[in-house]
């Protein structure tokens, strides 16, 4: 396999896109790239409590099948941020 992808597929991370709400980022990712991310704080309530940021979005590459899908996510996220 690809070492970079082997590391990335274990990655789960939080991010925010400017002042966009979590729901708006989720809608835009779906509309622009057919990418689905979860809503809410069910992943790690402790992290959300400490950071106290309702705009945080969680994503994971665990279910991606290769670097092409990771690139698709990153390109789509870039488009979300530019709008």
Neighbours of 32 (CB within 10 A): 15
Q: What is the pLDDT along the chain (83 residues), one digit of tens a residue?
A: 677 767 767 778 889 999 999 999 999 999 999 999 887 655 566 776 777 788 888 888 887 778 898 899 999 999 999 98
- Global pTM exceeds 0.95: no
> Which positions ≥6 away from 53 have C-beta within 8 Å?
16
3-state secondary structure the chain: CCHHHHHHCCCEEEECCCCCCHHHHHHHHHHHHCCCCCCCCCCCHHHHHHHCCCCCEEEECCCCCCHHHHHHHHHHHHHHHHC
């Amino acid at each position: 396999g690809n070492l970079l992808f082997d590391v990335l597929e274990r990655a789960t991370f939080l991010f925010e896109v400017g002042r966009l709400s979590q729901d708006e980022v989720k809608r835009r990712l779906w509309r622009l790239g057919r990418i689905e991310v979860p809503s809410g704080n069910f992943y790690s309530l402790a992290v959300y409590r400490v950071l106290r940021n309702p705009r945080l979005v969680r994503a994971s590459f665990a279910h991606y099948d290769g670097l092409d899908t990771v690139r698709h996510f990153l390109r789509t996220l870039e488009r979300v941020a530019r709008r």
